[in-house]
Amino acid sequence: MGSIPSWPTGLPVLRGLASSAGSDSLHPATQETQFDDGPSRVRRRSLFVTTPLNMQLRLSAEAFVVFKAFHLNDLNTGARRFQAPVQLPDMSLGQRVCRISGKVAWSAPRRFEYLVSFTLLVQDW
């Protein structure tokens, strides 16, 4: 097993557009197990704390080709984790381990401009 891929340098920092950045869940919800008698047991769902961030990137035609190749080849259509520069809660940039969760949507609202949207799971955000 090799090292994890890095976000391509030609692509923008993962901060998304101001209107799209954010999350509906600061941390993953806990897992709760009910018992017939006694209190329920509540615990973390995973070993790593990840925060889902809604990303929306405006890309040139050239950058869209780079993103598409990165997603397909380096990330195995989103199955692999990667290192990327991410805007942190204090508005600084930091390198974090990330994963794209679910589908990646795209559109071309203008000629030679692509809009790419996805949910980014950021570890230790």
Most distant CA pair in the chain, distance: 63
Average pLDDT of the chain is 86
pTM (2 decimals)? Answer: 0.79
* High-pLDDT (> 90) share of the chain, %: 53
**DSSP conformation letters of 23-63:** -S-SSPPPEEE--SSSPPEEE-SSSS-EEEEEEEEEEEHHH
User: Reduced to 3 DSSP states, what percent helix, strand and coil does the chain have, rounded to the nearest 5?
Assistant: 10, 45, 45
33 burial type by CB count under 10 A (0-12 exposed, 13-18 middle, 19+ buried): exposed
Residues 6 or more apart whose Cβ sits within 8 Å of residue 42: 30, 31, 32, 33
Residues 6 or more apart whose Cβ sits within 8 Å of residue 118: 55, 100, 101, 102, 103, 104, 105
User: Mind listing the pLDDT tens digit for each residue in 15-59?
Assistant: 865 555 556 666 667 778 888 888 888 877 777 788 888 899 999
**Quick check: 78 and 98 in contact, CB under 8 A?**
no
* High-pLDDT (> 70) share of the chain, %: 87
